[in-house]
Chains A and B, each alone.
Chain A
Amino acid sequence: MLKNSPMRVCLLITILFVHTGFSQTSIYQTVNGIISFQSEAPLELIKASSNQLIGAIDVDKKNFTFKILMRSFQGFNSPLQKEHFNENYVESDKFPEASFKGKIIEDQDLTVDGTYELRAKGILTIHGVSQERIIKSNVTVNNKTITLKSSFSVLLSDHNIPIPKVVYQKLANEIKVDVNATLEPR
């Protein structure tokens, strides 16, 4: 449904209109950020990634929103595994998206060029379960472009995703996530 770029941009605009008071010039956005995750269990290593990460940062208000479609993840060790991911674990039918929305803690002016280590405090929602998280990111501002790199961990147990006993050696509870996104002004 949301596979093509124009559609994603439309979705992004819709999201942004919900948050009132955004001024046009201060919003940086992306629709093709890369988000990848890795599960390292004793018997199996699973990797998957998606390049359809949608994100927006308001540099004036220091707010941000990021969303990803769970079905857009590719990689996995087999198509069956991808199917299990969507049907059994994250239940993409019920919860098509994961999101992270919140505020940047630091009082850093992001219109000034430079590299900063910032912390994002917000609500991370996966599988319908929300958790308050502080996520550290490296942000580089250069010539009106914001490049964002972040690494953090997600515990499946935090988001009500149980691991069946038969696969507990193949699936780790702690998933390592990496985000790479380049945001440009609207």
Chain B
Amino acid sequence: MLQKFKNIGLIICCCIAISSFAQMPGTKIFTLGADYQEPPHINTIYQLKNGYILLGTTKGLYKFDGVTFTVFDQAQNVPDTVTAICELADNILVGYSNGFIGHVQNNFIAADSLEEGFPKVAITKIVAAKNNIVWFATAGEGIYYLKNKRFYNIDTNDGLTDDFVYDLSVINFNHIIAATDKGINICASDEKKKVIDHFTSRNGLPDNIVRSLFISGGKNIWLGMQDGGIGKFDLTNQDPPQKMNWSYGQVNAIAAMNSRVFVATEDNGLLVFNTGDDFFNLQYKDDQLKKVSSMLRDHEGNIWVAGNNLLMRSSASNVQPLAVLDKNTTENLHSLLWTKDSSIWFNTTNGITQLKEQNGMWQQKNFVIPNVNGASISTLYQDIKGFIWIGTLGKGIIILNPVTGKQQILKDIPELINTNVISITGKDSSIWISAFEATVCVKLHGDNMSYTNYAGVQNLGNKYVYNILQDSHDNVWFATDGKGVIKYQNGSFTDLQQFSKLYGNVVYKMAEDREGNIWFSTYNKGLVKYDGKTYTNFTKSQGLSDMNITGLTISGDNVFLVHKNDIDLVNTKTGNISYLDADQGVNNLNTDLNALTTDPEGNIYFVADSILYKYNSTKEIVLRPIVMIDRVQLFLNDVNVKNGHSFRYNENNLSFYYSGLYYSQPTRIQYQYRLEGYDKNWVNTKDRIKNFPQLPPGTYTFKVRVSLNQNFSASDEAAFTFTIEPPFWRQLWFIVLSIIALAAILYLIIYQREKSIKKYNKLESEKIRSQLETLRNQINPHFLFNSFNTLISEIEENPDKAVLYVEHLSDFYRSIVVHREKDLISLQEEINILNDYCFIQQKRYGEALKINISISPEQQKNYYIVPLALQLLFENAVKHNVISTDYPLCIELFIEDEDHLVVRNNINLKFTPEKGSSMGLQNIQKRYLLLRRKNVTIENDGKFFKVKIPLIIL
């Protein structure tokens, strides 16, 4: 039974404003052009959709990747002082201090061309509205807008209150708000009236000169003024902002988020205010940069401010310092607690302290707990009724009513009197207490409580229990020192044996994420995730910065791990790990198990370097680096190619420039690249260029991915696909053509061989036929008969000559035997045969046969002829013609035109021609065609029969 509160400890109330910070932790300053004599001054900061931060300076447009500044190349006629930047769908517009407008394409700034001409005064802001109208604010010519490639103007003649416009913002679809030297104006581009409405000091505006605008929540406009400070203007009910006491000078830029307002001033640096419905309170002021001319909140949640040539990055938006604690408190702080009234509680040397924010100011209330050394308070817990349970080492538990301040030592549970309490956790009306000697579950019923002591069960009393978690299914998990994880489900305890086998016996802290997975921090095996079936381990190879995990809790989609020197954020779905470290000002974290607390929104409170911090859990911020391929170079020269380009075979030396962007910790960035089609595996590198010389033909994809650690499983990736064409001699069409050509050649060769074989065969057959003919002719009985008759008369008339006659006859026949096999014989030899033949015939016919052979011996030697051709021709002449003294036959043989042998005879045909096949002449013709492709021509003009035989020279 709960007894009435007996002990009332001392309460000390203080309303102290927690001191403002002069130098914000978590800031980093970058210097532009440190080595220039006159470094450029930054006028404006802008972030592109792809993540790159651009700076408009007095010496051109710069790109910043978190480490280095690179200036953009520009055309000759483009001026130097950039005053405005705006990204459109397909290019980036740049406005200059002299009214010039340029655009960036392929990393080069070129002039825009406007028929209407540029303004002659500085362009202070450029914004693009969703309806493709681009608005320009100028310092002296009012407002311009670009619509359908035409430039239009709105100035004082159209109703604008003043022509000097500082800032411009789009509201609704086609309306804009302009901040001028004379209040704010609302304008439209496509309505009858260009200036729809305006508000000046006459309407209650604290200051006419409005230098900056920020639209928040669609209907509230934050204004930054010259003298009047800042104010909120509600569009719907058109209430002007209230006048405030402002001592910080001219406001250059303003931005609001998460009930805080960031103000950039001309002389007082960056100011951060807490705002509510009707209050502003300065939370802190950072004047490392005294003059801040522009401000940007980037995709990762960092706040960037710039002044002169300095650029400062602050993580103040994400990691928000709440209060500075004194040294003593910091050293003895062991527990933190967030309670339902939005206060933060922690233990001090003599009790506990409540920090509560009221009207933007932190107020502190100290509660002294008598007889207890504040340093021995190990844990704090708020139960369902709102009472705070204070666990101590050695004095058990004290319950405090935060409203009244009344305290009571918990005596209802004898096992817990004067125990050493390790942790108190709970869910709804159950409270789990783990102490050295007992493990108790308390159940609250109205004003009463009942309890169960589980000490002794499953060794719960013997081993320390560091943490107890009652999850969403009301299973209870125990993290122990020596027995690993014990699960209590449906009334029975189970040791998770497999867990202990894999990850050891010592588990410190547990938490449940939105999907119901349970996360454990172990002694030396890192972080473990359990989804009910499988375990996933996160160690240094997955990117954990330290295997020694001191604090664990869940914030939104991330597991928040505290180590001595930094914080890891592990995404529960992707496993991607990002960090909060010295770059964000997080150092020397308090490593006590219970010095970490969360609120229902997912914000986390922790202590580092004597500062109590709040980590703001925001959904929209980017927690992993992005990578992009900036340029492609061919033989070290930039080429403007698109993804999927085809290069020729000799364009094979390619370089890729890529950048990874993660502004919060740029030095952690590492890359892996792989050229698909070339590299087998991913290659680690910290370089930002990769060159591939002499790539063989093929299709490749260059892929690069980026991570903050060695774990690339959840990284952003950029790719560029390209093809290197094979040289023409390796292309399909060429190969096919070559094969066809080869086949054709082969075919031709074979055909030619076939032809010449056929020709040879034909020649052979003709030769044989001619032999046959000659043979037939010579065995012609007529010839023999006549020859013998002639011989008889010779013998009778002139026996000596008869011998000569027979000698010729025998020579003739011998020649036939010798020469008949040959293809060609010399003219000389043929004429010898002929002479023999002619001798025989002339003996027979006497004067009736006249033979004239006029060929010089030289010619006889040089020329060649088919054997027995002449003999055949002469024989033909004798066969077909009358030979008588009345009608003599004259056969002539001579050379005509130096290339033909002619046999000519006068024609005197017999009536009855002798029997003989005309095969002889045809045979000769065929043989000449076969041998030398030459024609034997026959001319018959009725008077003379002329046969021309081509002469052959070997």
Contacts and interface: CB of A to CB of B under 8 A. Distances in A.
Given A103-B157, A105-B141, A132 B117 contact: no
A106 B120 contact: yes
Contact of B151 (A103, A117, A134, A153): A134
> DSSP class of B's interface residues: helix, strand, loop or mixed?
loop
Interface in B73-119: 115-117, 119
Contacts of A119: 116-117
Interface in B106-157: 115-117, 119-120, 141, 150-153, 155, 157
Contacts, number: 27
Contact of A153 (B115, B119, B141): B115
Contacts of B119: 105
A152 B115 contact: yes
A135 interface: yes
Given A103-B157, A106-B120, A132 B115 contact: no
Interface in B150-202: 150-153, 155, 157
A152 B153 CA distance: 17
B153 A105 contact: yes
Interface in A133-168: 133-136, 152-153
A121 interface: yes
Given A105-B141, A105-B153, A117 B115 contact: no
- Which bracket fits the contact residues of A? 10 to 19
Q: Which of A106, A117, A152 has the most CB of B within 10 A?
A: A106
A117 B117 contact: yes
B147 to A, nearest CB: 11
Contacts of A152: 115
Contacts of B151: 134
A136 B120 contact: no
Contacts of A133: 116, 150
B576 to A, nearest CB: 51
Contact of B153 (A117, A134, A136): A134
A151 to B, nearest CB: 9
A136 B152 CA distance: 12
B157 A136 contact: no
A133 B119 CA distance: 14
A135 to B, nearest CB: 7
Contact of A134 (B116, B120, B157): B116
Contacts of B157: 103, 121
A150 B155 CA distance: 23
A121 B153 contact: yes
A133 B157 CA distance: 14
Contacts of B120: 105-106
Interface string A66-81: 0000000000000000
A121 B116 CA distance: 9
A105 B151 CA distance: 13
Contacts of B155: 105, 121
Contacts of B115: 136, 152-153
A136 B150 CA distance: 13
B156 to A, nearest CB: 10
A31 B949 CA distance: 105
- Which bracket fits the contact residues of B? 10 to 19
Interface in A45-74: none
Nearest to B117: A136
Contacts of B150: 133
A136 to B, nearest CB: 4
Interface in A96-138: 103, 105-106, 117, 119, 121, 132-136
A135 B152 CA distance: 10
Contacts of A132: 152
A121 B152 CA distance: 8
Interface string B718-761: 00000000000000000000000000000000000000000000
Contacts of A153: 115
Q: Which of A105, A133, A136 has the most CB of B within 10 A?
A: A105
A103 B155 CA distance: 11
Nearest to B142: A105
Nearest to B120: A106
Contacts of A106: 120
A123 to B, nearest CB: 12
Contacts of B152: 132, 134
A119 B153 CA distance: 11
A106 B119 CA distance: 9
Interface string B398-430: 000000000000000000000000000000000
Nearest to B150: A133
Contacts of A103: 157
A117 B150 CA distance: 19
B437 to A, nearest CB: 87
Q: Which of A103, A106, A134 has the most CB of B within 10 A?
A: A134
Interface string B851-867: 00000000000000000
Contacts of A105: 119-120, 141, 153, 155
B753 to A, nearest CB: 64
A134 B150 CA distance: 9
B360 to A, nearest CB: 46
B441 to A, nearest CB: 78
A121 B155 CA distance: 10
A119 to B, nearest CB: 5
B389 to A, nearest CB: 73
A119 B120 CA distance: 10
A125 B119 CA distance: 24
Nearest to A119: B117
Contacts of A136: 115-117
A153 B148 CA distance: 14
A132 B141 CA distance: 16
A105 B120 CA distance: 9
Interface string A31-50: 00000000000000000000
B158 to A, nearest CB: 9
Interface string B621-640: 00000000000000000000
Q: Which of B115, B119, B155, B157 has the most CB of A within 10 A?
A: B115
Nearest to A158: B150
A175 to B, nearest CB: 13
A156 B860 CA distance: 100
A186 to B, nearest CB: 24
A153 B113 CA distance: 14
B27 to A, nearest CB: 43
Nearest to B152: A132
A81 to B, nearest CB: 27
Interface in B33-58: none
B154 to A, nearest CB: 10
Nearest to A131: B150
Contacts of B141: 105
A117 B120 CA distance: 10
Contacts of A134: 116-117, 151-153
A136 B99 CA distance: 14
Contacts of B116: 119, 133-136
27 contacts: A103-B157, A105-B119, A105-B120, A105-B141, A105-B153, A105-B155, A106-B120, A117-B117, A119-B116, A119-B117, A121-B153, A121-B155, A121-B157, A132-B152, A133-B116, A133-B150, A134-B116, A134-B117, A134-B151, A134-B152, A134-B153, A135-B116, A136-B115, A136-B116, A136-B117, A152-B115, A153-B115
Given A106-B120, A121-B153, A136-B117, 20 more contacts: A103-B157, A105-B119, A105-B120, A105-B153, A105-B155, A117-B117, A119-B116, A119-B117, A132-B152, A133-B116, A133-B150, A134-B116, A134-B117, A134-B151, A134-B152, A134-B153, A136-B115, A136-B116, A152-B115, A153-B115
Interface of B: 115-117, 119-120, 141, 150-153, 155, 157
Interface of A: 103, 105-106, 117, 119, 121, 132-136, 152-153
Q: Which 6 A-B pairs have the closest CB atoms?
A: A136-B117, A134-B116, A119-B117, A121-B153, A134-B151, A106-B120
